[in-house]
Structure 1
């Protein structure tokens, strides 16, 4: 029998929504489902009870060096320029992170110029001939004292693991600077969707070839899939009924709070690497630029159980994932894409890029990368 849809896409976050839009624009009929009552996945945003735009699943700050990704999403939103800045609470001080010249001078009561900071870091670093873990990365870059003050405690809270137990790529995401640049990201394109992520996703999915069904679990359609092909963006181990055991994921608990003051903190995010139970506090108005009475913040508490947010990057987990990937490669009519399906610690732009690459492949297109 003829299937009513060409593609069933599981998950209405970035991966699923980008694939749905690209395939629909190419004339394919798409059914997009999500078990949650909204589109946008973890990037979904909405107004709280007091009218402040918040991110229920924690702050999402868009940044990319990929012109294609930026231009593609720009077809569904106007952008608001925003450069994210973060402070870390160390003792009684709030210091720029990533570590820069200001961080070093304030922390140690110094007055170093750029060359002086570079020389200081060279003196305190602990050179490693082989970089295997995140601990190797940090010690090789900034030495033991800065590691203890900024990285060790934060990592233990965030991942439930020591730096020595995490792959090197986790710590490598945070650079060290000798100048006064206090931007958290240095990408070419740093913007927020002017009317929010949810509006951007609504525009992306407003195509007559796309049907969206929310509050719908994949299990409800799995026995009789109403499409010729499937694009799956959920946890890959779930798809295969945990045949080889569960892949480890890290979850988060969010404590949202509305505040009567117009501003709560000086920057968008403050990290708490040491004493507190939470890892960071983010103030949403700093990110969105919204002008309204009151403000809204969120505290993040990493958890071992709950919805999967972060694949845990360790060699043994990668080996387990490879076993599932072998099964996925044998599924001729199913494509796997996204942070959970590919078990990758992707940023938003990397998910978009992977999804664009997948649809290019499906549609037989060769696209020049910029």
Structure 2
């Protein structure tokens, strides 16, 4: 799916230049265009939607080229805003982790513990079991502190340490507490990966949602366009930048650490279902961290199925800011430079060096657009 480009004869007619057509850039664009601003959105890739972009593969299956994007939020405001541009398919994501020969629910719940250890504990007994194995940590500074304080060393080794090493290239003890704190531990049989109030997938896909969001007479979209090639052409336009903040400043303080990914997409033409849930994690086996089967996410009927294996790596496009105190300190230096910039707003995961979920990016973009409108009123 491709959004037609609205051509413009001059660049000076635009009030706003937005770098990046993902969630941050697209939400800002729509909000500002609805307020009467003339907006140009550029993206160096040949498509809109950023990493949430989806497309139909050559076998007719809707896939996520940049890995699975599962929408979930507790924000009614964010959900209602996106509902302007899409209908939804109810979907609760479930994840299993391969531990030995077993596939076990993650986040860890009562089923996980009972099946792993051959027990039949009820909820109270699960809480007592975890109290008996956990290693209290005070203060909690690292992700290792979080996991050991919650589930103890054996579950840590079986589910978390190896996965973290592959995902981040670091040990749990080297990551800030917030990374592991994103994953709860449950004493019941709730096997949903998320517990948010709103858990849905765009019924026609993310790209169609972005197309509708950017379909406005005040918005011009140009893909395959590098910011550095056109920056000087937009003179008086306010800039909203959603790319890596360190790149904006030519890495003058050195590069901020990001984690990248390599994706191995495979289609299985004679397999109706490859795995029992949307994603299976591999914390201790293989070089990849997980396999996702897209038909679970989209609900599409197809005689075959398409899957993706994810291989985290140090080099490549930036996907995840790496949460460590020293990285945050380096970011603060770039943030100080950003605050000195006149006519520039930095919005999004890479521009704000935050491990944001999609709904958090939408919320940040709504706030940024409103702030800009108030300043330029």
- Whole-Å Cα distance in 2 between the matches of residues 257 and 227 of structure 1? 47
1:1-370 alignment runs, 5 A limit: 3-260=12-269, 261-364=271-374
How far does residue 262 in structure 1 lie from its aligned partner after superposition?
Answer: 1.1
- Whole-Å Cα distance in 2 between the matches of residues 331 and 293 of structure 1? 54
- Whole-Å Cα distance in 1 between the matches of residues 189 and 322 of structure 2? 32
How far does residue 226 in structure 1 lie from its aligned partner after superposition?
Answer: 4.7
8 Å Cα contact 2:12-2:233 kept in structure 1: no
- Whole-Å Cα distance in 1 between the matches of residues 67 and 107 of structure 2? 20
How far does residue 350 in structure 1 lie from its aligned partner after superposition?
Answer: 0.4
258-267 or 304-313: bigger deviation? 258-267
How far does residue 3 in structure 1 lie from its aligned partner after superposition?
Answer: 2.6
In structure 1, runs of 5+ residues without a counterpart are 366-370
8 Å Cα contact 1:8-1:226 kept in structure 2: no
Per-residue deviation, residues 229-282 of structure 1 (Å, max 9, x unmatched): 000000000000101000000000000000121111000000000021100000
How far does residue 11 in structure 1 lie from its aligned partner after superposition?
Answer: 0.3
How far does residue 225 in structure 1 lie from its aligned partner after superposition?
Answer: 2.2
SS across alignment from 1:346:
coil
How far does residue 362 in structure 1 lie from its aligned partner after superposition?
Answer: 1.2
How far does residue 2 in structure 1 lie from its aligned partner after superposition?
Answer: 9.3
In structure 2, runs of 5+ residues without a counterpart are 1-9
- Whole-Å Cα distance in 2 between the matches of residues 226 and 184 of structure 1? 46
Q: Taking structure 1 as the reference length, what is the TM-score of the superposition? A: 0.97
- Provide the residue aligned with 1:368 in structure 2: none
Per-residue deviation, residues 55-87 of structure 1 (Å, max 9, x unmatched): 000000000000010000000000000000000
Per-residue deviation, residues 178-224 of structure 1 (Å, max 9, x unmatched): 00000000000000000000000000000000000000000011233
8 Å Cα contact 2:163-2:282 kept in structure 1: yes
- Whole-Å Cα distance in 1 between the matches of residues 13 and 317 of structure 2? 31
SS across alignment from 2:18:
strand
Per-residue deviation, residues 131-173 of structure 1 (Å, max 9, x unmatched): 0000000000000000000000000000000000000000000
Per-residue deviation, residues 291-331 of structure 1 (Å, max 9, x unmatched): 12211000000000000000000000000000000000011
8 Å Cα contact 2:43-2:226 kept in structure 1: yes
How far does residue 227 in structure 1 lie from its aligned partner after superposition?
Answer: 4.5
- Whole-Å Cα distance in 2 between the matches of residues 132 and 229 of structure 1? 39
Q: Taking structure 2 as the reference length, what is the TM-score of the superposition? A: 0.96
- Whole-Å Cα distance in 2 between the matches of residues 106 and 6 of structure 1? 59
